């Protein structure tokens, strides 16, 4: 089981291979949001395999957990300040 972190344009993803949990954090000038989903579709590909294929095609990049956490904190603070 692994946890991996990815980035696509302005969205940062944390993916847990053991639970198929995907948490996304989006931050740009128009949107700031956090979303969570669990893939129970029964697909033969795990979310990590899917995102690894995005990396291979140049559509995503692997990032560090610290960069993901930094963006998560930024978005959480924005949401807290603006609710």
Sole residue written with tokens 């948490």: 23
**Helix or strand holding residue 57 (H, E):** none
Kindly tell me if the per-residue pLDDT of 1 is higher than 70. no
For residue 65, what pLDDT is reported? Answer: 95
Domain coordinates in residue numbering, the chain: 3-82
- pTM of the entire predicted model: 0.85
pLDDT in tens, 15-24: 988 888 899 9
pLDDT in tens, 26-80: 988 788 898 888 877 777 778 888 899 999 999 999 999 999 999 999 999 988 9
Q: Are strands 11-16 and 32-38 parallel, antiparallel or unpaired?
A: unpaired
Averaged pLDDT score across all residues of the chain: 89
């Amino acid at each position: 089981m692994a946890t991996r972190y990815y980035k696509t344009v302005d969205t940062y993803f944390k993916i847990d291979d053991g639970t198929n949990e995907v948490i996304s954090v989006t931050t740009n000038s128009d949107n700031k949001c956090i979303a969570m989903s669990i893939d129970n579709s029964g697909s033969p590909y795990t979310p990590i395999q899917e995102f690894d294929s995005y990396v291979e095609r140049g559509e995503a990049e692997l990032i560090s957990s610290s960069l993901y956490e930094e963006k998560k904190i930024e978005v959480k603070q924005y949401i807290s300040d603006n609710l």
